[in-house]
Amino acid sequence: MREIANIQEESDTWEKITQKTNALLDLAKSGDESFRSDLIAEIELLKAQLDRLELKTFLSGPYDHGNALLTINAGAGGTDAQDWGEMLMRMYLRWAEQNSYSTEILNKSNGEEAGIKSVTILISGKYAFGYLHAEKGVHRLVRLSPFDAAHRRHTSFVQVEVLPEVASEDPTVAINSEDIHIDVFKSSGAGGQNVQKNATAIRITHIPTGIVVSCQNERSQVQNRENAMKVLRGRLYEVKLAEQEKQLNALRGEYQKAEWGNQIRSYFLHPYQLVKDHRTDFEKGNTNAVLDGDLNDFIEAYLKLIKPSKL
CB-based contact 229:173 (threshold 8 Å): no
Spatial distance between the Cα atoms of 99 and 109, rounded to a whole number of angstroms: 26
Same structural domain, 209 and 232: yes
The residue among 15, 34, 57 that closes a domain is: 57
Same structural domain, 281 and 147: yes
Vertex 73 angle, CA 70 and 75, to 5°: 150
Spatial distance between the Cα atoms of 190 and 111, rounded to a whole number of angstroms: 12
Spatial distance between the Cα atoms of 292 and 120, rounded to a whole number of angstroms: 19
The residue among 20, 37, 57 that closes a domain is: 57
The pLDDT value recorded for residue 34 is 80
The pLDDT value recorded for residue 245 is 59
| Structural domains in the chain (count) | 3
The pLDDT value recorded for residue 309 is 47
Q: Which residues does 28 contact at the CB level (< 8 Å), separation at least 6?
A: 39
Same structural domain, 259 and 159: yes
Domain with residue 290: its CATH number is 3.30.70.1660
Each residue's pLDDT expressed in tens, for the chain with a length of 311 residues? 777 877 888 788 889 899 989 888 888 888 778 888 888 888 888 888 888 787 777 887 888 888 999 999 998 778 999 999 999 999 999 999 999 999 999 889 898 889 999 999 999 998 999 999 999 999 999 999 998 878 889 999 999 999 998 876 676 787 888 889 988 887 765 444 444 557 788 899 999 888 999 888 777 888 888 888 889 988 888 887 777 655 444 454 555 555 555 789 999 998 899 999 999 999 999 999 999 999 999 999 999 888 654 44
Can you give the pTM of this predicted structure?
A: 0.75
172 in a domain, yes or no? no
Same structural domain, 26 and 131: no
Q: Partners of 170 in the beta sheet?
A: none
Same structural domain, 208 and 139: no
CB-based contact 235:163 (threshold 8 Å): yes
Same structural domain, 8 and 87: no
Helix (H, G, I), strand (E, B) or coil at 197: helix
* Closest listed residue to residue 67, CA positions, set 223, 220, 219, 231: 231
Same structural domain, 157 and 236: no
Backbone angles phi, psi at 10, to 5 degrees: -65, -40
The pLDDT value recorded for residue 308 is 52
62 in a domain, yes or no? no
DSSP secondary structure string, 89-103?
HHHHHHHHHHTT-EE
Same structural domain, 132 and 212: no
Same structural domain, 192 and 159: no
Domain with residue 194: its CATH number is 3.30.160.20
Same structural domain, 155 and 231: no
63 in a domain, yes or no? no
**Residue 37 domain boundaries:** 2-57
Helix (H, G, I), strand (E, B) or coil at 229: helix
The residue among 36, 57, 78 that closes a domain is: 57
Task: Find the distance separating the first CA and the last CA of the chain, reported in whole Å.
Answer: 24
The pLDDT value recorded for residue 67 is 93
